[in-house]
Structure 1
Amino acid sequence: MTYEERIQAALDKMPNDVAWDIDKRISDWLSGDGHKSDDPYIYQQVRFAENAAKQYEEVDA
């Protein structure tokens, strides 16, 4: 699963304002010179999104 697929799956499981914040951070990072979608920063955001999604799933359960 690619970073993009993983982050999308996680973003679908959380409130819009949280998803928007993560998406904005990634978009801002990618708009910088030389930043790529497989940079360690993107992986950090993927992990954050996945962990946040788990927390929201537990609250909803």
Structure 2
Amino acid sequence: MNQIQEISKLSDRIPIEALQNIHSRVTDWLAGVGNHDDPYIHQQLRYAQNLARSEGNG
């Protein structure tokens, strides 16, 4: 499973505002010079994982 799929799995456990922010950042990254397996995408996954934990759902 790639990092974007992992973020998607967490989508029901994080606030919608944060999910929209992550989506915007990932979309902008991929539209520019980025790839699905870049460290920046992994950073967004870690952010989503941390949010899920802080919401008490991870």
TM interval, shorter chain, is: 0.7 to 0.9
Counterpart CA distance in 1 for 2:4 and 2:25 is 14
Residue 7 of structure 2 is matched in structure 1 by 7
Q: Which amino acid aligns with 1:30?
A: L
Matches within 5 A, 1:12-31: 12-31=12-31
Structure 2 unmatched ranges of 5 or more = none
RMSD, matched Cα? 1.4
Counterpart CA distance in 1 for 2:4 and 2:22 is 12
Q: How many residues were matched structurally?
A: 57
**Shift in Å, 1:29:** 0.6
**Shift in Å, 1:4:** 2.0
Counterpart CA distance in 2 for 1:21 and 1:2 is 19
Residue 53 of structure 1 is matched in structure 2 by 52
TM-score (norm 1): 0.81
Counterpart CA distance in 2 for 1:23 and 1:39 is 15
Q: Which amino acid aligns with 2:41?
A: I
